Structure 1
């Protein structure tokens, strides 16, 4: 039979009932809370089963309460030292996600060859056998034509097992093209800590002992990688110290903070360097960390050049050079004019922050702007200036957790695979104008959003076969129309997801994915509260539908099919190198492989013979680990880098970044150009030595749209309710939308300052047209004093036209519920890292009442 778009929801609901009648499990109850009772009597009838949330990149250890085969409650894992047994609202939304009636329930194939947003794919249900056979045929065709590099694998949410599917599988086939989503949602923020202290990753914070916290361009209790821990502990800083929030919009943290600085978008770097100027002029830097003038007399005075030889540095490099190149003339008065904030507030926050040192920290967000790298460097340098990094009560790199390496695939990689896996990656990382320097190493950063451009231009080549899993780049990438065109151009596309989305409607094969938090076998690692952890993902209910784990089960099924077609290398690797650590048995089917891979990866955590010397938790065997669900690391040991050195080129905290300089010079030498030429092509203003120190670069000359025609700066906020974009088809999402300051329940709104609205003749609730240089969207206006004048804000995650009956206004007609502002955000990048530009005032818009 053929399933037309208008019939999909009807068929989906019928399939759910059919599966229940077949006895796979009891029919799910959507109003799960209504049928549960509190107290011992209720809990005696069920069981708490450990799992991991992954609703954001916090990846909280959780437990799901199961009664009569049905998941009914969610809480934090009671053994977790990262979240103290709590989870945020995202965890509770798991219940509606599990029992979403619009989930994909069986593999499907496309029967309409025409692809487009308004095109009905006319999907037909098929078996897993037919689906995998078709995929294997396409891969074998690439191998036959020596075109395996034209295979593309795109990753969204993932587990440790992404090493198998995302990391190893493409190289076994013979492709370099495994592309992560990460640069769409972050990456640039990592340059702040890497260029200064050599750490590429997300940071951890000692909130228990903190006296001053600055949240900068982020909202820790809402969306920045530790919500449960932040919610649990922010009151300690509020009660015993000071919290300052720097953001154009009053977010959740700002609503509770002692200070809110509504900075003009894109000018954060100006405020940061002015704070550094103030701290140095007033002698407030941390002398134990940074050092001091040899004669003990402060020579930092506005406008004065300082002799580098007069300063004796300890654990830092280039402090005086930084002053001379960038800071000496840039005081708070200058920054106040540039950023449109109060001079006294800049100085007051700088003073309070430095005086609380080292028990202080700046918690900064992604800062995804075309000139974001230097902004985050300037912000993070303040942590070094006051000695807050690697210190008690400050911020730290965090702890890891024990895990065992996956078996090597190299012995099973044939000559075709070895040759083609070394080809240039499709995202154009490492091109002259796209250094994409992860860890300051040119060409190692991912440029996910640029893949659409590369496919359209066939540069460096065309893509013939693509697989995507847990991703929806047509929705989440800026200027998403590019993705529509690109995916329509790809001859064969497989989408592995739990529910349909904008990207799914370009698929030739759709594979229904098991939900990681309740139906799959996997592991994840994360950190919070100065502890690291390894956390399990395991089935808590019987699978209601014909779904499979993508990273393990699909890998096995594909390997079997490729073997049948004459390419056995992948199957030999999986069946021979993977074996149960307890029994020594090799897997014989896809589910056994998923369990075996999970046991092997976690062996160092649960095997008494392997974990005997570990200083953290030590489960007594696999079943004990499954029961507990988590291994906590020891608590972070502070100031080890102070004693042993930082992993930078100088082994010190670098205000003058030799680490970044080496990356730039390596990239420039590859193309036989100067570093200044690289900076020019990457749209940065710095030249010469300024490129190697944290500094401010104006957002104005990289802004899309003139101030005269597009007077407002557009920023996209992140919701407390977004489960990595997969909660928008849940009714609870809309019922509690007001928990995001300035938003409205059951609505999707653009937030506008009342003063601006008055000038435009706009009232609260009016429909308005928001227009950028690339397009217009219509959305309801919400007048709110919590947004800086001249700025408009819109929540990311709404505006789906293809996500189900709740997320879409009209699923059949592809009409969105609300607006997706990615559609009017121009395609741009922080080219140093490859990160997608979203905020920082780079998108200018105009607003008109409809």
Structure 2
């Protein structure tokens, strides 16, 4: 990154000058920015939602003279009115002078990195009619399945554009970004307790927190709430953080274990070995041997039969299933001494952590994050981490973990009756990402139940299972944000026609044929999201705080309605009929005639179970639409701890150490594909065979690149300033980058342990090239003891070559910093469909330049 502080200040000044020239703030509001005295009659706090991560926190913005000037947490929210830095950064996003201001079309047919699309402004009518014509071309040739919808950041109004619109025009292809986000994290919860989703926890009473690659004060899942509770947790209990980097959370923890990336499953089963062999498991939750003797002896199997009378060794399980099988199949010989050379964690530390964790019993939490499982063989890292919760009985317990709570809402109407035979048949064709095939199990709750986002690029290039002809994406930037960025670049070069709905030009936009500006979350649009934290579910609103200062439309409601109107004029009326029949104003019964009416009516309809008073017994009392907007959020009553014990959504209704649930899914998957289960594991690039695949176990990590040529392991982390990767055109991001331990303001540094730096003759500030089998990027060295020796660590988020005057050094060609996805190997975690962005999938070499 060549920009120094002086250059950056010049760029920031230029940005400020452009902002001033576009009259972002009125003089009255500008004069009051940064003051506190205007919090009264001069301004009004308006509730909305931050979508900087999937915490989806309720927030409030202070609106003065039609401009939002300040952010705070919503005092009515489940997290106690707390927020992190991300909502504040969003102020520079909404008033970013580089936002897409009106529809654009490409005039240069050539596509590629560094190629100028030669966009020119067009009207909304021309843009929408062009899209409608492209859809009609597919309808006429019976090729509607060759349309694909890419979903990026979304609200819970996504049922319309993502869930229903493709079906209404005859496509099976609604491709979510989910598998590049956290699907492998959900795998362990699904196949131990039948829950596919984000977990919640009773942090008020937790006494031990085992964090697997989770930087709770910085990155995702209840971030503001965890920031609040961390001090109490350190005072009343203990925390151990397992991470090759000393994160902000690790710096405040009782113990930091700098693990070798990709070996989390080995550490987890070694901890389990100590707990079981020393008799430390929770007898009240798991159960015990009938004679109260511990038969879990290190290195020995628990015999199926015992004594002269051939009587079995009986383990009376209470709320779990298969603990003895787990021991016999995996844990019996997974000693700390076995794990030490694999994980880089000493046997002594493994024993200490295991004993501390078990001593806290049901108030001990093993929290699995993407860092521990978004690896090529990471599903069993997730499984093993979750199994530890079962051993100590911290599932559905005070101080423990449980499923996320919900909030009432009304989903989109079914499309049945609004599809012709041709359209209905086309919508049932194979999906473009090849989910459910031998190589891409994407299990979720069934074979092919998940999504393999990354595979779409290969499908486009290989035209397998067919050739895509038309795609539309919103709030997504797959060219930048998925491993093997060059593969996506080639795929987007080949895709015949792409429509990008986006607030800012980005790498994905540079391959677009039509660009549609969208209103910004939190500030300019209607919508709602649902989440769970602090033992409560919540529904939090989006509402327009301000009038959009660009000519944008709401992505999930207004734009599909406009396309449906255009299609109806061309004789294809079903999508518009579906929207007008099913999304009337729930108060007046009025049929939506305009995009603005559809936008508002659809949100009112979806949130009606909250504002009509019918959910008052489940949480907050709200009795009108206006009251919901005023409060900004509805919060449920506290989660009733213990309600799912012996009623888990597993095959046995128990917490499963031996997963009968996974066994059934794998057998169905194998049968569907005409292969054996062992062949299915092999196709998914796992080493396990037979029953071992149904228990948490160690899988050797996959590394791309041989150790001789690429001697270092590459690992990455997230910044507390990354708004889902969308804050890199804000000057504040660079000014404050040193809030991330080991990082530097105004720079994009690569952290290297001084031991390794000495070996390679490197010092602070040296420019280096980092190369993997996938590609290379340039960076600057930062010597930092918070990096495990042998591991190169860099924050994800910078390296945009097309993201505005601040985010890119030269827009369209020269990046500011390096994009990690250019060196991450293009590979998969195939059981869940996830992209392996952690776990050291790539080995690298570094060269001074």
> Which range, TM-score by smaller chain?
over 0.9
**Matches of 1:321 and 1:176, distance apart in 2:** 40
**Matches of 1:274 and 1:692, distance apart in 2:** 18
Gaps of 5+ in 1: 1-8
Provide the secondary structure at the position in 1 that maps to 2:805: coil
Provide the secondary structure at the position in 2 that maps to 1:475: helix
* Superposed CA offset, 1:187-241 (max 9, x none): 0010011111111011011111000001111111110311100001111110011
Q: 2:75 aligns with which of 78, 84, 92?
A: 78
- Report the more deviating stretch, 129-138 or 410-419: 410-419
**Matches of 1:277 and 1:355, distance apart in 2:** 15
Q: 1:394 aligns with which of 400, 410, 426?
A: 400
Provide the secondary structure at the position in 2 that maps to 1:44: coil
> Offset at 1:16?
7.1
In structure 2, do the counterparts of structure 1 residues 846 and 121 end up closer, same or farther at CA, with 3 Å as the change threshold?
A: same
In structure 2, do the counterparts of structure 1 residues 310 and 340 end up closer, same or farther at CA, with 3 Å as the change threshold?
A: same
Partner of 1:323: 327
Q: TM-score, normalised by structure 1?
A: 0.95
Q: 1:530 aligns with which of 503, 528, 535?
A: 535
Partner of 1:436: 442
Q: 2:60 aligns with which of 56, 60, 63?
A: 63
* Superposed CA offset, 1:550-581 (max 9, x none): 10000110010000000011111111221111
Contact persistence 1:33–1:73 (CA under 8 A): no
> Offset at 1:349?
0.7
Provide the secondary structure at the position in 2 that maps to 1:245: strand
Q: 1:559 aligns with which of 557, 564, 589?
A: 564
In structure 2, do the counterparts of structure 1 residues 32 and 93 end up closer, same or farther at CA, with 3 Å as the change threshold?
A: farther
Alignment of 1:90-105 (within 5 A): 90-105=86-101
Q: Is 1:633 the counterpart of 2:636 in the alignment?
A: yes
Q: Is 1:595 the counterpart of 2:600 in the alignment?
A: yes
Contact persistence 2:770–2:776 (CA under 8 A): yes
Q: Is 1:696 the counterpart of 2:698 in the alignment?
A: yes
RMSD value, Cα: 1.8
Contact persistence 1:409–1:573 (CA under 8 A): yes
In structure 2, do the counterparts of structure 1 residues 11 and 780 end up closer, same or farther at CA, with 3 Å as the change threshold?
A: closer
Contact persistence 2:272–2:331 (CA under 8 A): yes
- Report the more deviating stretch, 216-225 or 157-166: 216-225
**Matches of 1:12 and 1:279, distance apart in 2:** 57
Partner of 1:6: none
Partner of 1:38: 36
Contact persistence 2:434–2:440 (CA under 8 A): yes
Partner of 1:569: 574
Partner of 1:842: 841
Contact persistence 1:474–1:483 (CA under 8 A): yes
Over 4 Å off, 4+ runs = 9-20, 25-29, 31-34
Contact persistence 2:774–2:826 (CA under 8 A): no
Partner of 1:4: none
In structure 2, do the counterparts of structure 1 residues 467 and 353 end up closer, same or farther at CA, with 3 Å as the change threshold?
A: same
**Matches of 2:720 and 2:512, distance apart in 1:** 30
Aligned length, in residue pairs = 828
* Superposed CA offset, 1:787-840 (max 9, x none): 00000111111000100000011115x100000010111110110011001121
Contact persistence 2:432–2:456 (CA under 8 A): yes
**Matches of 1:13 and 1:280, distance apart in 2:** 61
> Offset at 1:18?
8.3
Partner of 1:584: 589
Q: Is 1:305 the counterpart of 2:307 in the alignment?
A: no
**Matches of 1:703 and 1:27, distance apart in 2:** 55
Q: 2:230 aligns with which of 229, 234, 258?
A: 234
* Superposed CA offset, 1:675-704 (max 9, x none): 1111111111111111111000111xx210
* Superposed CA offset, 1:470-514 (max 9, x none): 000000011111111111111110000000000100000000010
Contact persistence 2:749–2:780 (CA under 8 A): yes
Q: Is 1:293 the counterpart of 2:289 in the alignment?
A: yes
Alignment of 1:335-354 (within 5 A): 335-354=339-358
Q: Is 1:404 the counterpart of 2:410 in the alignment?
A: yes
> Offset at 1:32?
6.9
Partner of 2:821: 822
Gaps of 5+ in 2: 1-11, 305-312
Partner of 2:105: 109
Partner of 1:3: none
Contact persistence 1:33–1:72 (CA under 8 A): no
**Matches of 1:419 and 1:32, distance apart in 2:** 57
In structure 2, do the counterparts of structure 1 residues 297 and 317 end up closer, same or farther at CA, with 3 Å as the change threshold?
A: same
**Matches of 2:130 and 2:689, distance apart in 1:** 53
> Offset at 1:35?
2.3
In structure 2, do the counterparts of structure 1 residues 95 and 380 end up closer, same or farther at CA, with 3 Å as the change threshold?
A: same
> Offset at 1:543?
1.3
Provide the secondary structure at the position in 2 that maps to 1:848: strand
> Offset at 1:28?
9.3
In structure 2, do the counterparts of structure 1 residues 292 and 238 end up closer, same or farther at CA, with 3 Å as the change threshold?
A: same
* Superposed CA offset, 1:127-165 (max 9, x none): 111100000000000000000000000000001111000
**Matches of 2:31 and 2:463, distance apart in 1:** 51
Contact persistence 1:374–1:694 (CA under 8 A): yes
> Offset at 1:34?
7.4
Provide the secondary structure at the position in 1 that maps to 2:448: coil
* Superposed CA offset, 1:659-718 (max 9, x none): 11111111111222111111111111111111111000111xx21011111111111110
In structure 2, do the counterparts of structure 1 residues 15 and 840 end up closer, same or farther at CA, with 3 Å as the change threshold?
A: closer
Partner of 1:256: 252
> Offset at 1:398?
2.1
- Report the more deviating stretch, 462-471 or 706-715: 706-715
Contact persistence 1:49–1:64 (CA under 8 A): yes
Partner of 1:670: 672
In structure 2, do the counterparts of structure 1 residues 179 and 11 end up closer, same or farther at CA, with 3 Å as the change threshold?
A: farther
Q: Is 1:162 the counterpart of 2:161 in the alignment?
A: no
> Offset at 1:17?
7.5
* Superposed CA offset, 1:233-275 (max 9, x none): 1111100110110111100110000100001111111110010
> Offset at 1:586?
1.4
In structure 2, do the counterparts of structure 1 residues 753 and 539 end up closer, same or farther at CA, with 3 Å as the change threshold?
A: same
Contact persistence 1:65–1:72 (CA under 8 A): yes
Q: TM-score, normalised by structure 2?
A: 0.96
* Superposed CA offset, 1:595-625 (max 9, x none): 10010000000103x335x320121200000
> Offset at 1:406?
2.3
**Matches of 2:818 and 2:412, distance apart in 1:** 43
Contact persistence 1:184–1:449 (CA under 8 A): yes
Provide the secondary structure at the position in 2 that maps to 1:593: helix
> Offset at 1:733?
0.3
